[in-house]
Every structure is written in C-alpha cells, then in structure tokens.
A and B are shown apart, each in its own frame.
Chain A
C-alpha cells in the first residue's frame, strides 16, 4: 500500500493531527508516534477500542484518547 496519512483526533484536547506513514502501522507504533504510552492511552476506531497489535492503515481515521483523571483526588 502506498504511503499516506492517518488522521487522528487527539482527546481530550480535541486537536486534529495527521501522521504520515509508509505502510499500515500497529497501534503500539501509532501511540509511540503520538508520544503516548499504551498504558495510558487508547486508540478507538469507529467506536471500538483497538488492541496494541491491531493495525491502522493510511487513509483511516481514529481517535487517540489520553486517559486521565480530572484533578487531585486524595
């Protein structure tokens, strides 16, 4: 498959980001490209959370959710 863009909405900020990739990438690699850890972020495609080993293709749209707490709790 030719190189292309993966479009991602970064949540909770809501910022739209594009990742230029040579070929389909694993979710774990996409998270690395976004500077996030798979322990604290989730990639969602069409409302379904993806596994770290799932693959996202150029041209696809995903949401990358940084899991966070609202504020101080203890």
Chain B
C-alpha cells in the first residue's frame, strides 16, 4: 500500500505532477499551502484586509472559504461571506443550506441575498422577462450583487472560487475566439475602482478542480455536489474541459504551468476599451451610463433595481454589525 511521502501514513492521494503520495492531513496541508503561496506570490491580501467571499454552496466556494479560514490568523485578514439565493428551484434551496452550514461551521458572518425578496423574482423568471439566456443573466446578476456587497461592507477584495481547471478552460475558449480582452481578466487578481468596484482575487488559481473537491470532502466541509439544472452539456466549456484534462493526463502539471505563465503575461493582454463610468441609477461601475444590472431590471421589472439591492445589503450588513467598519 502506498504511503504518504512525508509521514508514511496510508496515502489517499497521489500528486502526479510532483510525484508524491499524501495522507489525509498532509493533503489538506498541501492545498492550504498552495492557497498560501498564491496569496503571497500574487499579493492578493494584506494585514487587516476585509475579504468578501462569494459563497455559492458548491465545492469550490467551500474549499475557498475553508482554506481562507484556515489561514486567517496567519495573514491577519477578516472574512465576510455573501450568498445569493438565485431562486433556481430545489438547486437553490440546497445551495443555500450548504452555504449557511458552511459559514456557521467556519464562524464567518454571512450576508444572504434572496432574489425573490430583493427583486421579487428569480433567475428563471428574470431571464424569461428580459429575453436572455439564464446563464448569462445569472452570471451578470452574481457579479453585480457580489460587487455591490463588497462596496457596501467596504471590503478590500472579493474572493472568487475559480479553480485552475475553470481558468484554463476560459483561457482556451477566449484564445480560440481571439478575445484577448477577456483573457486580460483571467489573472490572479484585478484592481479596485474607488467606491464603484472592488478588486477580485482568485486564491484557488493553482488548485485543480479535483483537488478542490477532495479538500472539501476530506475536511468535512458542507457543500452541494449537484449541477445547476440550466447547465448545457453542449457548451464549449464542457468539451474544452475534457481536452484540457486529457492533456493533463499526458503531461502532468500542464494546467499549473498554463496558469503560472498566464499570471506572468497577463499585463501583455489588451484591456477592454472604453471609459469606466458609474451607473446613473446605482452609482456602481459601468462602461456606459447605466450598468447591465439596472438596464436588465428596468427592462424586465420596470424599475432599475441596483439602488434597492444596495439598500437591502446595507441593512443586512448593519444588522450583522459589519458596518460602519471599524479599522
């Protein structure tokens, strides 16, 4: 029976690109060390930072919050989590339960934003009324609300659970369509725009999807392991993930190399053109006069809902004692 390369206990994982076996405890340490190195190398956090963690309830956000919580005292940052109840039937009910359980277990304050309460609607309805595909509406709504929450709680960074597999796939997809501006957004972190957008960090930049699953599983962190009912298996991302992983099987470490090199070259990619402005309704970042969220909600619900979302989050943050922020 293979033994852990560090302590000789029975191994539960083999890290092919490092040719080492690990037991449960050293596996957990291995992943936390990857996150630690990414936080340091890419200067993602500082002492006294308030990090807002976007919690979907899935394995990656669970691993993200778990690893960040484990490194909390070492780096001296504070964690706040936000969960958006998207109203996608049973899937959202279960996601919410997992997010609540996780935040409680790790003692992280959780801001919950149920769309049915804040907007009086859900993602499927909003997509229908706005005549847009649900996945595109969902992505935009999540980005908007997460950023709005970060602005309201005066966070220094938003942490996202994108793993190396996700990013490798988006990198390839953008490359295939020569959307180089999209690649410029796939680095380990993005910068803030004062009072309008909070910079995003990706602490799982070098963590593989399977590693993320095993970490959450072995650590006993609550997470929902289900697919959203709207996932379309014909999507290019699904095919590209297979391609990336068959390459990884032949060339162990390929995904890490791709991400490390992308981080080095990210500045060479062209940034999206156009001015950065503020939405005339909600005041948050936009490329025009009105942000995508206010535009969609105005079209679908008859009213730009950005200000209401911000007000809702503010009142939740007040109740949780998160604002005014004491530095």
Contact = CB atoms under 8 A, between A and B. Distances in A.
Interface of A: 11-12, 37-42, 44, 48-53, 65, 67-74
A73 B162 contact: yes
A62 to B, nearest CB: 14
A50 B14 CA distance: 10
A50 B214 CA distance: 11
Contact of A49 (B139, B217, B237): B217
B124 interface: no
B12 A48 contact: yes
Given A37-B245, A72-B237, A74-B162, 19 more contacts: A37-B249, A39-B210, A39-B248, A40-B209, A40-B245, A42-B210, A42-B217, A49-B217, A49-B218, A67-B59, A67-B213, A69-B59, A69-B60, A70-B58, A70-B95, A70-B226, A71-B230, A73-B60, A74-B139
B166 A74 contact: yes
Contacts of A69: 58-60, 166, 209
A2 B320 CA distance: 62
A53 B10 CA distance: 13
B8 to A, nearest CB: 15
B135 interface: yes
Nearest to B235: A72
B292 interface: no
B2 A65 contact: no
B138 A49 contact: no
B13 A51 contact: yes
A51 B225 contact: no
Contact of B225 (A40, A41, A68): A68
Interface string B211-250: 0011001100000111110110000010001100110110
Contacts of B147: none
B88 to A, nearest CB: 8
Contacts of B139: 72-74
Interface string B251-284: 0000000000000000000000000000000000
B162 A72 contact: no
Contacts of A40: 209-210, 241, 245
16 contacts: A37-B249, A39-B246, A39-B249, A49-B13, A49-B214, A51-B12, A51-B13, A51-B14, A69-B59, A69-B166, A70-B57, A70-B228, A70-B231, A71-B138, A72-B237, A74-B185
Contact of B226 (A12, A42, A48, A49): A12
B170 interface: yes
A27 B27 CA distance: 19
B56 interface: yes
A66 B77 CA distance: 34
B92 to A, nearest CB: 10
A66 B81 CA distance: 27
Output the residue of A11, A12, A37, A73 with the most chain B CB within 10 A. Answer: A73
Contacts of B203: none
Contacts of A73: 60, 139, 160-162, 166
Nearest to B212: A67
Nearest to B13: A49
Interface string B139-176: 10000000000000000000011100010001000000
Contacts of B138: 71-72
4 closest cross-chain pairs (CB), A and B: A71-B228, A39-B245, A70-B58, A67-B213
Contacts of B11: 51
Interface string B85-96: 000000100010
A50 to B, nearest CB: 8
Interface centre among A50, A51, A69, A74 (most CB of B within 10 A): A69
